[in-house]
Amino acid sequence: MASTTAAVASDKKYELPDNAIVLPPTAQLQALLTLIRDENTHRGDFVFYSDRIIRLLVEEGKCLNHLPVVPKTVRTPVGLDFNGVGFEGRICGVSIMRAGESMEAGLRDCCRSVRIGKILIQRDEETCLPKLFYAKLPEDIAERFVLLLDPMLATGGSCIKAIEVLLSHGVKEEKILFLNLIASPLGTDTVCKRFPKLRMITAWVDEGLDSHSYIVPGLGDFGDRYFL
């Protein structure tokens, strides 16, 4: 997105960090977001329209366009060469459980046979800080570009912990792309300024957080609405 500002749900403007990208606010995207925000939308429709937004993030949102390419020449069926490009390096998806798992199918739709890792982070009841409970990642993840998946970015605590896990497994910060449906300004600033070399791609930046650190206007608990 060329502009450094993004429309938020309250029609205000929010100054984006340099490494944050928001999808263009097309009529299609706004209609899809309206449908999944509606408390009266049934689960089947919520899943269907959420999947469409996820696909926009991965495909039309230029997520794959942020991966490096190298020149590649192929021979066409008419016997002529075509000078094109091919992706450089391999990718994998890593979902922050459980809501992030909702984004795996959309990634697979665009990236055939992509490997998927999983990270489970929950709040420690004693410290109230995000704590790693489980991580299963490809053995060669340090050699891959990583698409980190989590639909909602509120305070940024879980996302930061997940990024720290990736870094501890040898993933370079500049090889991490964080895909997200709805973010808060606080979460966006916190993640993007803490890790200035990663890139974040989100569908929308909402107004902010309430006293319980829920995104507002938001859409409720994404994982519960998608899976239950």
Q: What is the pLDDT of residue 11?
A: 53
The verdict on residue 94 lying in a domain is yes
Domain at 150, CATH number: 3.40.50.2020
What CA–CA distance (Å, rounded) separates 152 from 219? 9
The verdict on residue 3 lying in a domain is no
pLDDT in tens, 52-91: 999 998 876 555 666 777 899 999 999 999 999 877 668 8
Question: Catalytic positions, please?
Answer: 123, 127, 221, 224
The verdict on residue 188 lying in a domain is yes
The verdict on residue 139 lying in a domain is yes
The verdict on residue 102 lying in a domain is yes
**Contacts of the segment 82-91: beta carbons below 8 A, 24+ positions apart:** 89/143, 89/144, 89/145, 90/143, 90/144, 90/145, 91/67, 91/144, 91/145, 91/146, 91/147
The verdict on residue 4 lying in a domain is no
The verdict on residue 22 lying in a domain is yes
Radius of gyration in angstroms for the set of CA atoms belonging to the chain, rounded to a whole number: 18
Domains: count for the chain: 1
Q: Residue 190 is part of which domain span? A: 10-227
What CA–CA distance (Å, rounded) separates 191 from 195? 6
How many Cα atoms sit within 13 Å of 115 on the Cβ side?
A: 14
The verdict on residue 5 lying in a domain is no
What CA–CA distance (Å, rounded) separates 191 from 177? 12
pLDDT in tens, 100-123: 999 998 888 887 778 999 999 987
Closest-CA residue to 146 (of 121, 165, 122, 123): 165
